[in-house]
Amino acid sequence: MQSTSNKPAGETQIFGHPPGLFVLFFTEMWERFSYYGMRAILLLFLLDKVRGGMGMNEPDAAAIYGLYTASVYLLSLPGGWIADNLLGQRNSIWYGGILIMAGHLILAFPAGEVVFYLGLVVVVLGTGLLKPNISSIVGELYPEGGARKDAAFSIFYMGINIGSLLGIFIVGYLGQKVGWHYGFGAAAVAMALGLVTYRLFAQRYLGERGKFIPQQATDQPQEAGSNRPILIFLAALVGLLAILQLTNVLDLTTAQGLAKGMGTIIAMVALGYFAYILIGGGLTTVEKKRVVVLFVFFLAAAVYWAGNEQQGSSLQIFADRYTDLNIFGWQMPSSWFQNLNPAFILIFSPVLAGLWIFLDKRNINYSVPAKMATSLLLLGIAYVIMIFAANVALTGVQTSPLYLSSTFLFFTLGELFISPVGLSAFSKLAPKRYTSQLMGIWFVGASLGNLVAGLFAGGFEEENIQQMPGLFQSVAVFALVAGGIMLVFAKPLKKWMGGIQ
């Protein structure tokens, strides 16, 4: 139970949780409707040459898809910084939502390539502001931590996936069966509903949570909160990219080159930020150990999302070209396969949320590192299934939907072992003054995974179908090996968490 100092006057409990959780639940639900709905049709729109799409080839379309989905998560890091230092989390959510809605409105009108890219950029900027900060406030609702906090993040995760389910169903149908821009417009409407929900209920049920902005003492201008090291790092990053471009190591003038450049940026941002926090962050020894644990969790997340996010890239192509979509004479939109993930999450989220509390009450500890190792092993199993599916596709026969359905089931189980657990772990282990920034780093792991997923899909050109089994095998082996390594180091990592579960 929360202490009264963290509990707004008159607050009651809903299903054992503060009502503020459900305000954030519905706000995030509508935002995820807009994001996952649009993502479901984005690659198909970029590839389409018949119905008013962009008509791109697979490598360029996949690179742009990867750039977009990676940028959405990468900008969570500056979004967290803006909240921690300028706007506060609550205002960041509000302004982020407005930008997301505006971006989808731009996409809803077929006004040419430049306007389309502008819409993507505006959506990215808004999501970077909203995404890390809404998760941080969920953490603030449970200062006591423990299994109840893990259960709350699982409930919050259900909101994400209800939005995803509705978004893929509605936007996917409108985009593939009616018109691409109708789908983009539906995403704008969904974000508007999220803004209305947040505006009406946030102040009443969240109280002062999310309004904290740390103030730097005037007599200590060079403390850990100083912006100078960050500005120096950003300048160095820009300089390095310029050198790589001038020496032809990278070609930032093409979609594929820009995507590879983004990979360099993401890796440097993550490594540089963790180094900055550990060396110049003014942390205690205990806090430093916890940040090292968060770095390992970040790596695990990047590996997991690189496999999971194939749903909208390589597996979307596989569903569209190599899977039997006929249902009693009606061709199902291929994007609807992406609905399996949120549907399975809605089924299994309450099961696992109850399992964590059940184990906690019986003093059975399934540690966070062990859960993350489990997620990577499940991911590897999912891709073993896709190896068999790809071999069937090589024969020229449309594959059974059961292959993708089984793959998505293992994706889902793996996701439930890493995503809500990771959100909760970052909110618990992050030093208070870096909470939103480190929550942003968690999403940078997803950013790196999304970029890899996009680049990976570039190899799925129709004339290169023979390489599909090998591509899926590479992901399976990498995930299984990474999961095994994580399992070996589960106990040391748990010790470095310093008693936080």
Q: Is the pLDDT of residue 225 over 50?
A: no
pLDDT of residue 385 exceeding 90, the answer is yes
Residue 219 has what pLDDT? 46
User: Among 116-125, 156-165, 219-228, 303-312, whose mean pLDDT is lowest?
Assistant: 219-228
| Top-confidence residue, 232 or 115 | 115
Contact criterion met (CB below 8 Å) for 271 and 78: no
User: In this structure, is residue 76 part of a structural domain?
Assistant: yes
What was the pLDDT predicted at 234? 74
Farthest-apart Cα atoms in the chain, separation = 74
Q: Report the amino acid identity of residue 245.
A: Q
pLDDT at 247: 83
Domain-embedded: residue 5: no
Closest-CA residue to 393 (of 321, 327, 454, 333):
321
Q: Is 487 exposed, middle or buried (0-12, 13-18, 19+ CB in 10 A)?
A: middle
Whether 225 maps to a domain, the answer reads: no
Tell me if 87 is assigned to some domain. yes
Measured between alpha carbons, how far is 145 from 204 in angstroms, rounded to an integer? 23
| Structure confidence at residue 177 (pLDDT) | 93
pLDDT digits (tens, 9 = 90+) for 18-34: 888 999 999 999 999 99
Stated as kind and residue range, the H or E segment containing 239 is: helix 228-246
What band does 1 get if pLDDT is binned at 50, 70 and 90? very low
Please identify which residue in the block is written with the tokens 């899926």. Answer: 472
Q: What is the mean pLDDT of residues 186-213?
A: 88
- Where residue 164 sits, what CATH number does that domain have? 1.20.1250.20
Does residue 219 lie within any of the structural domains?
A: no
- Please say whether the beta carbons of 459 and 467 come within 8 A: yes
For 330, phi then psi, to 5°, come to -110, 135
Can you give the pLDDT at residue 4? 38
Domain count within the chain: 1
What is the reported pLDDT for 218?
44
Looking at per-residue pLDDT, the higher value among 173 and 221 belongs to 173
Share of the chain above pLDDT 90, in %: 43
Radius of gyration of the chain (CA): 22
d(CA 387, CA 379): 13
Average pLDDT over residues 314-334: 90
Flag whether 220 is in a domain: no
Give percent of the chain with pLDDT exceeding 70: 92
**Which stretch of 171-175, 220-224, 464-468 has the lowest confidence by average pLDDT?**
220-224
- What mean pLDDT comes out for the span 127-139? 86
108: left (phi over 0), alpha (psi -120 to 50) or beta: alpha
Number of Cβ within a 10 Å radius of residue 367 = 16
- Whether 222 maps to a domain, the answer reads no
Does the pLDDT of residue 131 top 90, yes or no? no
Q: Is the pLDDT of residue 250 over 80?
A: no
d(C-alpha 75, C-alpha 127), whole Å: 8
Dist. CA 379–CA 382, nearest whole Å: 5
Dig out the tokens for 437 from the structure: 């920034």
302 within domain boundaries: yes
Q: Which domain holds residue 433?
A: 15-213+231-496
Does the pLDDT at position 35 exceed 70? yes
Copy the structure tokens of residue 478. Answer: 């990498």
Q: Three-state SS for 190?
A: helix
The structure tokens listed for 168 are 């893929």
pLDDT in tens, 267-300: 888 888 898 888 888 888 888 999 999 999 999 9
Mean pLDDT value across residues 149-165: 83
**Would you place residue 229 in the very low, low, confident or very high pLDDT band (cuts 50, 70, 90)?**
low
More confident site: 62 or 225: 62
Instruction: Please check the confidence at residue 420 and state whether its pLDDT lies above 90.
Output: no
User: For the segment 231-249, what is each residue's pLDDT rounded down to a tens digit?
Assistant: 777 787 788 878 878 887 7
More confident: 160 or 353? 160
Residue 474, token pair as written in the block:
């590479």
Lowest mean pLDDT among 2-11, 393-402, 416-425, 452-461: 2-11
Q: pTM to 2 decimals?
A: 0.81
Looking at every residue in the chain, the average pLDDT score rounds to 85
More confident site: 318 or 154: 318
